[in-house]
Structure 1
Amino acid sequence: MDKNRWLYVTGTLLFVAFSTLAVLGFLLKFAIPHGGRFGGAPPTFLGLTRHDWADFHGMVGILFICLAVIHIVLNWKWVVQSSKRYLGDNWQKALWAVGTSWVLVLFLGYLFSRF
């Protein structure tokens, strides 16, 4: 398969994954019931509990991240060319700074979510 076809497939799957994440996020926030019933089974939405929906949301989120990485790899030449154009001679340092900062933000977010 050529690069353009991979970009098309990746872009389409990114759209589907993002749309799914958005819809599930709104459902988890506003439509899917919280808590459980006294002495009974937890409430369900379309046959799945809130935790089942949250697990599905998490799996789609991981898929989205993987697809985003593939998309960046497929477009890496454009990323480098645009970085050179907009950032000049220090484009490599700027990309490293942005990448390192983002990893640090994600890691700190993970750490703080554990407490």
Structure 2
Amino acid sequence: MGERVVLGLIEDVVIFANDAEEVVSARIDTGATTSSIDMHLAEKLGLKISEQEKIVKSASGIEKRHLVFAKISIKGYEIEDYFTLADRHHMTYSVLIGQNILKQGEFIVDPLKGENQ
């Protein structure tokens, strides 16, 4: 990758699933090791739940979460990786982009960058 792409704290992400795609606003979180997706959104999109589980530390404590494999596009870069499943319906953003996606895309995060620029 040539020049590195700068992300703000909120970015639009395209999630590809089967023959469909959905655009959602995602929270960019450099402190999260693995990206996360709302279980209801994953179900709606028909993402296949893996038998694999990951232990996750969050504000609500330590828990085991199932994983889904998904292809996304962020700032025109397509990336495939695992997302943990979480009940994010009470949160503003149904998708959280963590280090696994940020590293693959070699993205830089600028918290001063305006939302969805």
> TM-score normalised to the size of structure 1?
0.20
Point out the structure with the larger strand share: 2
TM-score by length of 2: 0.20
Structure having the larger proportion of residues in helix: 1
Flag the structure with more relative contact order, 1 or 2, with Cα contacts below 8 A and sequence separation at least 6: 2
Work out which of the two has the higher radius of gyration on C-alpha atoms and give 1 or 2: 1
